[in-house]
Amino acid sequence: MTDAVAGEPGEVAGAEGVDLPPIVDVELGTLPLERFAEVLTDEEADALRADARVARETFSGRIVWNVNSTATGGGVAEMLQSLVPYARGAGVDARWSVIQGDEDFFAITKRLHNRLHGSPGDGGELDAAARTHYEAVLEVNAARLIERLQPHDIVTLHDPQTAGLVPLLQARGNVVLWRCHVGVDTPDEVVRSAWSFLLPYVRGADACIFSTRGFVWEGLEDVRLAIIPPSIDPFAVKNYEIKPDAVSAILSAAGIEDNGASSEPSFTRMDGTAGTVAHQAEITESGRLDAQTPIVVQVSRWDRLKDPLGVLSGFTEHVLPRSDAHLVLAGPSVTHVADDPEGLRACSEVQTAWHALPADAAARVHLVTLPMDDLEENAVLVNALQRRAAVVVQKSLAEGFGLTVAEAMWKTRPVVASALGGIRDQIEDGETGLLVDPRDLAGFGDAVLKLLGDPDAAERMGAAAHERIRTQFLGSRHLGQYLRLISDLMR
């Protein structure tokens, strides 16, 4: 590495002095690829089997590693929780490790994350001091990863937190891919400042993977590029079919809805064992939901870029006066997402805005913090909330892809979402959902009211949305693309 100046990778000073917890190896089982036969055509299933055969031959004796910065919270962790076991089911030795960082490191990487979305975030600098600390933390993590890796293993690094590992792992001979899950359609100087910080590391990757073509950076002209949209697992606890009586029981057990449910709030875990909803959500509300209340739902991390304040304003100003619907804004417990130091502030801002609402409006808005004590319990709560919704919304100000959109579409829910990023790849406006300008609160309200006021049209749109996800955004397609890319690199 060269001297530590802004815009260039810097000399790491005192990396051995960075005190970090051990790297976490996420323990996962194996999932059979054959289960996708339930949702694929015969031709699609045969293609997936062919990809698996090639992968088994190409990766024999090698480990395929995924490395990111959190095992819980956010779409990347959720995808890895299913893709890694399915890769194993294809006969590949796939593993997942989570790097560690300190408070300053995650403040820097959250700054990068925000800037890649076009937001200045905390307004902090990406200067020589930031680069030096970023590299120091990753030097420690690289040394620990290298203890696990053999030189012929393949490593996929995910997002800004891991970018600085690219040259460190390549130096010992590993094939290294870097995957960027975030971006914007039209980059400005804020976005390019994050690119400038990260480019010196990722330019040397064997391949850079982006979720949508519009997110590809300037300055990567000499790097092999791949476009692999994210995906959902239709059999995951968050997405599998739940009958209406089970939805009611789950929401009742979590304290989200009063519906007189008499059945047990049980669900089936990924390993086939039975689970029960045993933890209650933390709810800010002045009125209760009942089984007859139509609800508009947004489920997201507590993040300003997900614009929960905009959803709140758009609903109370433009939907509430013209319908009897309630709004549910739901997100995970902010103490369980290790790589997002801004979550608590974003959640607190929404709480403050709710307390400032007139009493009649506050009675129709419910802020739900979902427990994270049991990740599969959390997933089934999200599943039940989305299935209970009359309309699901995702009014993000910036969005790398927006897996909550795909999740809701798979559940045949009509969706209103922002016309940006990977959301535009998922929703065909007017056919499989409605796209809106994220800054146009009146337009957002009109779109929600359109679906609330025409249940038959909403049902048709939901059915078309389900088929769109089946053909384009399931894990079978994602896994096949990923295995083919690495196989090509190995050849």
Distance CA 189, CA 339 (A): 24
H or E element: which one contains 429?
none
DSSP bridge partners of 283: 368
What's the fold here for domain 281-472? Rossmann fold (3.40.50)
CATH superfamily label, 15-231+475-490: Glycogen Phosphorylase B; (3.40.50.2000)
Of 37-41, 70-74, 337-341, 470-474, which gets the smallest average pLDDT? 337-341
* Percent of the residues in the chain that have a pLDDT greater than 70, as a whole number: 95
| Pairing of β 225-227 and β 266-268 | unpaired
Distance CA 389, CA 399 (A): 22
pLDDT higher than 90, residue 74 = no
Q: What is the pLDDT of residue 491?
A: 75
pTM for the full model?
0.88
pLDDT higher than 80, residue 10 = no
pLDDT tens, residue by residue, 445-456: 999 999 999 999
Mean per-residue pLDDT, 285-293? 96
Mean per-residue pLDDT, 249-276? 95
Q: What is the pLDDT of residue 16?
A: 52
Contact assessment for residue 391 and residue 415, using Cβ atoms and an 8 Å cutoff? yes
Q: Indicate where the chain has its CATH 3.40.50.2000 domain(s).
A: 15-231+475-490, 281-472
Q: What is the pLDDT of residue 368?
A: 98
Helix/strand/coil for 179: strand
Contact assessment for residue 414 and residue 391, using Cβ atoms and an 8 Å cutoff? yes
pLDDT higher than 90, residue 341 = no
Distance CA 167, CA 1 (A): 9
